[in-house]
Amino acid sequence: MLRLLLAAVSVCSAQTIVIQAGTVIDGKGSVARNQQIVIEAAKIASVKSGNAKVTYDLRNMTVMPGWIDTHVHINWHFNAEHKYVGGREDPKDAALYTAENVWLTLQGGFTTVQSVGAPIDVDVRNRVNQGSLPGPRILTSVRQINQNTAKTPEEFREFVRRPRPRPRI
């Protein structure tokens, strides 16, 4: 089932999509009415008046840029008893929960997130960038840096230059 979903997402990201919007807020202070947003290869190609065949008719709605969340733990989740699980599960389950989180984040309107650091961030970010996993753009430090990471500037430099740990999935 998961492979079928990923294949469908991959096909959809290759299509040209035309959104007919009643109002477009551009994020730079301008508002435009009756615009078509053309999306090619999962990127906005143009925003303009037009008469292309419409994929999504949002004439009665306002469209705005995606939101940015600058502090997320994209791999965190809670169990059925609403308790934080973090790191106490099979890595494959952790990967699936993380994939679910990026999908829900995207559905919530966030198109970019800054994940504060977890080894799985790299694999999830790469799959989102490849179009094989639906989710927001992920900016990540991969691993956290805090007051216990190093004591001197040179130790900090050495830490950030070290190869990143890879999750075992």
Q: Is the pTM of this model over 0.75?
A: no
Spatial separation of the C-alpha atoms in residues 15 and 22, rounded to whole Å: 22
Number of domains making up the chain: 2
Do 76 and 101 belong together in one domain? yes
- Band the pLDDT of 143: cuts 50, 70, 90: confident
Do 11 and 26 belong together in one domain? yes
Residue reference for tokens 């994940």: 115
Residue 37, domain member (yes or no): yes
At 58-75, the pLDDT tens digits run: 999 999 989 999 999 999
What's the CATH number where 26 sits? 2.30.40.10
Do 18 and 88 belong together in one domain? no
Residue 6: the pLDDT is: 37
Do 76 and 155 belong together in one domain? yes
Spatial separation of the C-alpha atoms in residues 139 and 22, rounded to whole Å: 32
Do 56 and 8 belong together in one domain? yes
Assess whether pLDDT exceeds 70 at residue 82.
yes
At 19-58, the pLDDT tens digits run: 999 999 988 999 999 999 999 987 899 999 999 999 999 9
Q: Is-contact 136 102, C-beta < 8 A?
A: yes
Which residue has better confidence, 111 or 119?
111
Domain span at 91: 67-161
Question: At which of 63, 83, 116 does a domain end?
Answer: 63
Assess whether pLDDT exceeds 80 at residue 8.
no
Residue 27, domain member (yes or no): yes
Do 88 and 44 belong together in one domain? no
Spatial separation of the C-alpha atoms in residues 157 and 140, rounded to whole Å: 17
- Band the pLDDT of 10: cuts 50, 70, 90: very low
What's the CATH number where 103 sits? 3.30.110.90
Do 57 and 95 belong together in one domain? no
